[in-house]
Structure 1
Amino acid sequence: MKTANSTTLRKSLFVALAALSMGTAALGAQAQTASAATAQGAPQAGRYAHAANQEQRAARAAARTARLHDDLKITPAQENAWNAFVASMKPLARTGKGAAQGARPDRTAWAGLSAPQRMAKHIDMQKQRTAAMEQRLASLNSFYAVLTPEQKKTFDDKAGHFKGRGMRHGGWQRGGDTARG
């Protein structure tokens, strides 16, 4: 004879197993859909998020540049030097796998290299970065030479600190205050 307690227990167990089965089936279907979309070459959300972050960074950099231009009170006579300086401080373009300065190396091409060959390639890449920084320094010196003493002080206070990730990515960042812009 069945008791009410055992019947309730069996029903509860059956409902729990059914819910678990449906949940597992739903997760499996979702995983299949996601893998099918990836296999078909559908864009992934991360790619869009990266592009959005790049746009936000570019907008913040443009705002910082405009703010520095205003803080320095650049005169029309200094405008050409300013424009050359700003252009030289832009990050290096990443145009392809291992093809251009600033590009990430092609992992498949590097996989077959010996350790000394990889080290030699790293040294070559570092030389390219050093040459790019020397060009930026020359542009900075040219721009700095046309500034008045007051502008030099403002520049030193606002933009003279190459901090954090800014120089690694080829640009300059505002120093002094810690507010993000």
Structure 2
Amino acid sequence: MTTFRKSLLALLLTTGVAAGTFAASAEQPGSGPMGAGPAHEHRHSPEQMRERMAKRQAALHDKLKLNANQETAWQTYITRMKPAERPQRPDRAEMEKLSVPDRMEKRLGMMKQREQRMTEHLAATKEFYAVLSPDQQKVFNDEFKMYGGGRRHGGPR
């Protein structure tokens, strides 16, 4: 195995263990913001997230000032960037029954699924970016400065 692959595997495994530890502690009462209830109470509903994403996409569309030839590429890009349905979290009781290596393997599988989705988003972004003019690319870049390529749920700011 190459050094890069070994490092990537070590990073993925460490991240999986850390994520599992974080998830377990987040489900404990009083572990949310300021100790006030479950950690997920502050999250937005899927409908709210879709609405926010649609507003951001509309704003980006307006800023890019796309020509008629670019509209098809935009529609393809938006379709391909739609977030996948969130997979159901593994049952905590079932996870606790698994051995540590089996839990790590399950987490690694989930990470691979997320990596595949990110790879698909990268391909869609590259294809759309290629049809933009240099000025439009600058606007696109400015919209995605934070986090190196987008916000958490695949939509522009």
Q: TM-score, normalised by structure 2?
A: 0.64
- Cα distance, 1:154–1:52 mapped onto 2, change above 3 Å: closer
Matched residue, 1:110:
95
Amino acid at match of 1:82: W
> What does 1:81-160 correspond to in 2, within 5 Å?
81-94=73-86, 102-160=87-145
Percentage of identical aligned residues: 42
- Cα distance, 1:173–1:141 mapped onto 2, change above 3 Å: same
Paired residues, number = 118
Larger RCO (alpha carbons 8 Å, 6+ apart):
2
The answer to whether the 8 Å contact 2:56/2:155 transfers is no
Structure showing greater Rg:
1
Distance 1:85 1:77 in 2: 14
What's the Cα RMSD here? 2.7
Distance 1:135 1:106 in 2: 28
Amino acid at match of 2:154: G
Matched residue, 1:60:
52
Matched residue, 1:78:
70
- Cα distance, 1:91–1:113 mapped onto 2, change above 3 Å: same
Q: Shift in Å at residue 114 of structure 1?
A: 0.6
